Structure 1
Amino acid sequence: MSTLFFHESEFEGNACRISVANYLAFLSLRGPELAIEVAKIRQALAAPSRKHLERDISLLLRARNWRFHNIACVAIACTEASSQLLEELWSCIKRGSWTSPQLAATAEMVDKDFGRRAVHLIEDQATYFKSIVALAALLEARHSTESQLSAAARSNLDEAKTIDRDNSGSIATAWNGNLRAAFGAA
């Protein structure tokens, strides 16, 4: 993926692309290395035009690789999310990812219309199950609205919970707290 978040390198004599930041530091969004890795993302965001930046974050969100999604979450938290970036983020949440909880947590922090959009995706049976569980948990934790879900949304959530073995709701709420702590959001 040729974006501002990767640079050309070589490993064992083969050309490869290396992330500018260690995406593993973004999995828990805690630890002593977090500030250093966030600073690397901020540095990558400093140079390009807004159009270039949005294109590259969109490319990360369109990729199927969860590592790219994790980098995109931090990049979005570092910048003001435009309506285009929010659309890309919500599309990625609907499609699903191993990092759906982190994507949902990011949307909760940056999108003022989170509640309405989250309910819409929970009601949509085409939404990835981990995303449904994560969105519902964030609605309950941050907006106190999970209990007000429609019958269709409640049914989708119950089904999603039966197949979610990773406790996506807990991951989303914990990551949201860590994201808010790392980026100073209330």
Structure 2
Amino acid sequence: MREFPPIDRAAEAAASQTLFFTDGEFDGRPHRVSRFNYLAFLSLTGSAAQQEVDKIRSFLGAQLGGQLETDIVHLLGSLNWRYHNIACIALAAGFTSPRTIEALWQRIRAGSWTAPQLVATAAYIDAGFQERAADALARHATYYKSLVALAALAAGSDSDSDSDIVAEAKAVDRDDSGAIAIGWLHNLRQALG
């Protein structure tokens, strides 16, 4: 199972310079801060999560599409799971393109602490989910949490969700990423209904 690559400081900096962040202060020092409560997106339940979804939808509706596409790609190009949560909601809110969907799949294969949320987002937005999931499930290099989440959401398809690769991933996944992906996809459908 693929482990995380080293942090790319340039990719992290590019993500923090997107429209999704603004100048602020943290511990008395100037800092780029998120415009959205990314923690509310972790479980995507409750009124706080719904308020943040509504807030991001409103914000995104006022932005230019080309810049959003680039910024979502930057969010997914970083290793920071907080950025990934924001990208998931932006994508699910309808700001998709072939480029952002490809960036999402690259992040799913490479890995994230929030891999289940990324996989659930792909299932929600990508008409080619089953085919892409089957491809990722066949790759030993796909991040283990992504493999478990993909196997759970691609169950019943032609993908090999019971392969040795998936069994190996399930053996090291202490978080039950499959159950998280299933639950988060349900919550995503309700929040964006």
What is the TM-score with the length of structure 2 in the denominator? 0.88
**1:17-166 correspondence runs (5 A):** 17-140=32-155, 144-145=156-157, 148-150=158-160, 154-166=163-175
138, 160, 178: which one aligns with 1:169: 178
Equivalents in 2 of 1:113, 1:33: separation in Å? 31
Equivalents in 1 of 2:95, 2:28: separation in Å? 39
Aligned residues: 178
What is the TM-score with the length of structure 1 in the denominator? 0.91
Cα deviations by residue, 1:2-55 (Å, 9 ceiling, x for unpaired): 111111012343101111110010000001111211122123312222110001
Equivalents in 2 of 1:37, 1:150: separation in Å? 36
Q: Percent same amino acid among aligned pairs?
A: 49
Equivalents in 2 of 1:101, 1:10: separation in Å? 31
What is the DSSP-based 3-state SS (H/G/I as helix, E as strand, rest coil) of the residue aligned with 2:174? coil
- Amino acid aligned to 2:42: L
CA contact (8 A) 1:20 1:40 kept: no
- Amino acid aligned to 1:14: R
Partner of 2:5: none
| Bigger RCO of structures 1 and 2 (CA < 8 A, at least 6 apart) | 2
1:150, distance to aligned residue in structure 2 (A): 4.3
CA contact (8 A) 1:4 1:44 kept: no
Equivalents in 1 of 2:189, 2:116: separation in Å? 14
Q: Which runs of 5+ in 1 are unaligned?
A: none
Q: Which runs of 5+ in 2 are unaligned?
A: 1-15
Root mean square deviation, CA, Å: 1.4
**Off by >3 Å, runs of 4+ in structure 1:** 148-151
- Amino acid aligned to 1:130: K
